[in-house]
Amino acid sequence: MFWESPPLDFVRRLEHGAAGIRDEARALPEALWLEWPERGSYSRGWRLVPLFTQDEREPLGWSCGENARHCPLTLAVLRAIPGLRRAALSQLAPGTHIYLHRDQDDDHLRCHLALWSNPQAVLRLDGFEVHWREGRCLVFEGDALHEAANLGERPRVVLLLDVLRASLPSPWRVRGPLLGAPAPD
């Protein structure tokens, strides 16, 4: 299951702050963008700027403190999200493919706030192809089978975050189809 701009408070906060978050991401020093260390999970060109984690032992978790100082507006928005588990800026360079995978955790929803993208950048979720729309959030099951690719000529950057289901209002706490939740476009 996935939803574009679902009616959740944290989604509204992220989308309201999207322009400022995008400006901070564009101003980041190049040295802060780090290659994702699990090289077998993608072709090339997947870089991140980790901003928040509950566990600094996670890959690149050690860099969150320094990176966060460069993004005060982004951090202010993130701190207001109950149940935030981790957050990072995620960049796919042209030609990048993150291979088909399933995240290990089923206790969270994953959110991508699209900061900049292109029509040839695509996320495939359980057989559906979804394109990012700048300034909008795409929310999906954290353990859904998914892959991402940027077949365009410009980078795709999202603010990627995981939010614990237990912190969300009912019926969003339940995995699977949600009563009253909007269907994907």
Which of helix, strand or coil describes residue 127?
coil
Residue from 6, 3, 1 nearest 185 by CA:
3
Overall average pLDDT of the 155-166 stretch? 95
User: Is residue 75's pLDDT more than 80?
Assistant: yes
Q: Are 20 and 76 in contact (CB under 8 A)?
A: no
**How many angstroms separate the CA atoms of 114 and 161, rounded?**
12
Angle at 92 between CA 87 and CA 94, to 5 degrees: 170
pLDDT tens digits, one per residue of 53-73: 988 778 788 889 999 999 999
Does the global pTM surpass 0.85? yes
Taken in order 94, 133, 67, 88, the sign of the CA dihedral is negative
pLDDT tens digits, one per residue of 78-130: 999 999 999 999 999 999 999 999 887 778 999 999 999 999 999 999 889 99
Kindly state the tokens that stand for 123.
């996320």
Q: Report the run of H or E that residue 48 belongs to, with start and end.
A: strand 46-53
Domain boundaries, the chain: 2-166
Q: CATH homologous superfamily of domain 2-166?
A: B-lactam Antibiotic, Isopenicillin N Synthase; Chain (2.60.120.330)
